[in-house]
């Protein structure tokens, strides 16, 4: 199976390098000729057409990624090729793909404040969740191909329902990006005094501002809801006579998460079987023919 | 010079181990006999009285650290011994010390979500800011001793005015702790999907809840002001038609900070000379007799 990667930036470049490190054939393309040359030196085939690969990953910048998905679905032989993507907001991508049976959307939950091929890291995806959007009636062999791609680079495929992606991501990713910017602006004059609590929270604000801007623009309703939720939480915190219970509760959340006991299960390779794993906080560890294996909390 | 460390938890234990690694004599004490035994095995003298060291660092839990500072100032020969501390809120400590000339307050800006001697890390302070509170009329040789302590463990002494500590820390540390808890509670059901943006921001919420609880309890007014500031920023963000400028501004803050050009200067060892370095975002790199050397932004 050859993998085509369109867009060799931080995510696409890391994916191409990770696949090469795993011994896979990779065809790649980037609009920047210098990036193509560097990728070629790293063993990526930048001459063959990306659209002729068995699995094509669209990894162009978020703002217009949906138009690249639509173009790719027009360009490939959809009887043979599966198209996936890495967008961190799914509304526009899903609308552009319009339920095309050759499209299975994905989202590797990895990245740093760096960007571009120069920041490509073949270990970027190791142990990271890789969300795989599984619609009702999805072609399970195509879903399986995206899961195997994630597994090949050391990630943990987490099947989820397409409709739950953007709301969940607003809380788990887009909100932290907004807070990182707000904290940075508020703490500017005190940065030389900062420790890990600030650097950890604000780190992503040092990245390319185009990414969080597009996240918020493309997912504005869910991000606003997440901001309203947070603001209400902070108001309750300020009004509470005793802050201890907040910190105790938050610690307990991490204790439960970090201490959860995972067991291996085998399930039929169906949309509901796959999503059931993601819904309980599990992830796929292997995909066979007709069944898959997953780790799920006991 | 011997250093005494009272309280061998994450901070005190890391300090004791870092000083031992630097070849310094360390006398240590912890209420937990198992911790004392482990520290003794690591080369810390747990038999001699901490109060007889030349420099005593009070590193007990934040909630009651100020009472330990007062007790230590009663116990030491203040003509010979300087007492310092590591508290992350200074109001109670400064009140307890009541301007005692043998006391120079300090605050290493380091720590993780772990706690206890078992988490002690001799490299914890490397390149971390170590705030040194320099009051008008401070005994500069005692301030110098605290700076040298920080330098001995690889930290960057940042002299600041005692009155500016708690307000700055509310923004740069206590607010991120509150946000870490709020984000954790809000994102609980989505943690298996989370990437670095969430983990970086919420990591400290996995730590001992007693620390952020005490931070907020002891610095409530400044933390509330920081929360009000943040809430106002988030409201402006929601009301803004274009989020780009927030993210562009935040990125520019980090670019200026990470790209700042530091030059070495020599200054007279006076309270105002020391504080002037911290006020412009610099830090002490060496302390001589009557002068000190610092790196400051050009």
Q: Are A233 and B182 an interchain contact pair (Cβ–Cβ within 8 Å)?
A: yes
pLDDT of residue B297: 97
Interface size between A and B, measured as CB pairs under 8 A:
259
CB within 8 Å of B217: residues ≥ 6 apart: A243, B63
Both B132 and B175 in one domain: the answer is no
Q: Is residue A147 domain-shared with residue A188, that is, in the same domain?
A: no
CB B226 within 8 A of CB B170: yes
Domain C-terminal end among A160, A195, A212? A160
Same structural domain, B18 and B136: yes
Residues 6+ apart with CB under 8 A from A68: A6, A7, A58, A60
pLDDT tens-digit profile of A115-172?
999 999 999 999 999 999 999 999 999 999 999 999 999 999 999 999 999 999 999 9
* pLDDT tens for each residue of B43-95: 999 999 999 999 999 999 999 999 999 999 999 999 999 999 999 999 999 99
Average pLDDT estimate for A26-53: 98
What's the rounded mean pLDDT across residues B245-266? 97
Nearest to A118 by CA among A213, A55, A26, A208: A208
B156 and B179 belong to one structural domain: no
User: Contact, B289 vs B158, CB < 8 A?
Assistant: no
Cβ-based neighbours of A125, under 8 Å, separated by 6 or more:
A14, A15, A18, A108, A110, A150, A153, A154, A155
DSSP A103: B
Q: What is the CATH number of the domain that holds A108?
A: 3.40.50.720
A180 and A132 in a common domain: no
Q: Does A184 touch chain B (CB under 8 A)?
A: yes
Give the whole-angstrom CA distance, residue A179 versus residue A251: 20
- Any domain includes A86: yes
- Put simply, whether A283 touches B (Cβ < 8 Å) is yes
Residue B79 resides in a domain: yes
Task: Kindly state whether residues A10 and A148 are assigned to the same domain.
Answer: yes
Q: Output the pLDDT for position B242.
A: 85
Could you say which of B173, B207, B247 has the minimum Cβ distance to residue A209?
B247
Residues B140 and B181 in one domain: no
* Residue B270 burial by Cβ neighbours in a 10 Å radius (0-12, 13-18, 19+): middle
The answer to whether residue A127 is domain-embedded is yes
Q: Are residues A100 and A140 in the same domain?
A: yes
Q: Classify residue B278: in a domain, yes or no.
A: no
Cβ-defined contact of B246 to A185 (cutoff 8 Å): yes
B145 and B171 fall within a common domain:
no
Residues A207-222: tens digit of each pLDDT? 999 999 999 999 999 9
Residue with tokens 């760096």: A114
Question: In terms of domains, do A177 and A221 share one?
Answer: yes
- What is the enclosing helix (H) or strand (E) of B107? strand B106-108
The reply to whether A289 falls in a domain is: no
Q: How large is the average pLDDT for residues B250-259?
A: 97
H-only helix segments in chain B: 10-21, 33-41, 65-75, 91-97, 140-152, 162-169, 175-187, 196-202, 210-218, 220-239, 244-258, 271-279
Prediction pTM value: 0.95
| Domain annotation covers residue A40 | yes
Contact A205 B251 (CB under 8 A): yes
Residue B30 lies in a domain: yes
Of B160, B190, B222, the residue at which a domain comes to its end is B160
Q: Tell me if B293 sits within 8 A of B274, measured CB to CB.
A: no
What pLDDT, in 10s, does the model give residues B118-167? 999 999 999 999 999 999 999 999 999 999 999 999 999 999 999 999 99
d(CA B175, CA B197): 17
Q: Which ipTM score applies to this complex?
A: 0.95
Residue contact B230–A200, C-beta within 8 A: no
Based on the fold, state whether residues A123 and A13 are members of the same structural domain: yes
Q: Which domain holds residue B202?
A: 166-239
pLDDT of A242 above 90 = no
- State how many domains chain A has: 2
* Torsions phi, psi for B174 (to 5 deg): -70, -40
How close is the nearest chain A Cα to the Cα of B264, in Å? 16
B206 in contact with A at a CB cutoff of 8 Å?
yes
A247 inside 8 A of chain B by CB:
yes
The secondary element (H helix, E strand) that includes residue A201 is helix A196-202
The reply to whether A176 touches chain B by the CB within 8 Å rule is yes
Kindly state whether residue A114 falls inside one of the protein's structural domains: yes
Q: What is the DSSP letter of B100?
A: -
Q: Are A18 and A56 in the same domain?
A: yes
Report pLDDT for A25. Answer: 97
Q: Where residue A205 sits, what CATH number does that domain have?
A: 1.10.3660.10
Domain boundary residue, one of A239, A274, A292: A239
Alpha helices (H) in A49-189, listed in sequence order: 65-75, 91-97, 140-152, 162-169, 175-187
State the pLDDT confidence band at A241, using cuts at 50, 70 and 90: confident
């Amino acid at each position: 199976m050859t993998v085509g990667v369109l867009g060799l930036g931080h995510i696409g470049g890391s994916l191409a390098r990770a696949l090469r490190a795993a011994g896979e054939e990779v065809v790649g393309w980037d609009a920047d000729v210098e990036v193509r040359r560097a990728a070629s030196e790293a063993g990526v085939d930048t001459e063959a057409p990306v659209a002729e690969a068995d699995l094509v990953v669209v990894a162009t910048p978020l703002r217009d990624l949906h138009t690249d998905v639509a173009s790719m679905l027009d360009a490939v032989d959809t009887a043979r090729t599966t198209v996936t993507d890495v967008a961190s907001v799914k509304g526009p991508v899903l609308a552009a793909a319009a339920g095309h049976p050759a499209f299975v959307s994905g989202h590797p939950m990895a990245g740093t404040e760096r960007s571009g091929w120069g920041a490509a890291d073949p270990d970027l995806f190791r142990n990271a969740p890789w969300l795989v959007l599984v619609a009702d009636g999805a072609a399970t062999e195509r879903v399986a191909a995206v899961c195997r791609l994630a597994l090949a680079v050391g990630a943990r495929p987490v099947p989820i329902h397409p409709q739950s992606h953007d709301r969940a991501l607003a809380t788990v990713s887009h909100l932290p990006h907004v807070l990182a910017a707000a904290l940075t602006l508020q703490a500017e004059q005190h940065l030389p005094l900062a420790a890990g609590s600030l650097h950890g929270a604000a780190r992503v604000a040092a990245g390319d501002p185009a990414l969080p801007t597009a996240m918020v623009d493309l997912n504005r309703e869910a991000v606003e809801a997440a901001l309203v939720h947070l603001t209400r939480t902070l108001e309750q915190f300020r009004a509470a006579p005793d802050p201890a219970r907040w910190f105790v509760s938050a610690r307990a959340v991490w204790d439960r998460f970090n201490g959860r006991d995972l067991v291996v299960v085998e399930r039929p390779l169906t949309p509901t079987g796959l999503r059931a794993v993601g819904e309980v906080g599990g992830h796929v560890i292997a995909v066979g023919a007709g069944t898959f294996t997953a780790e799920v909390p006991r």
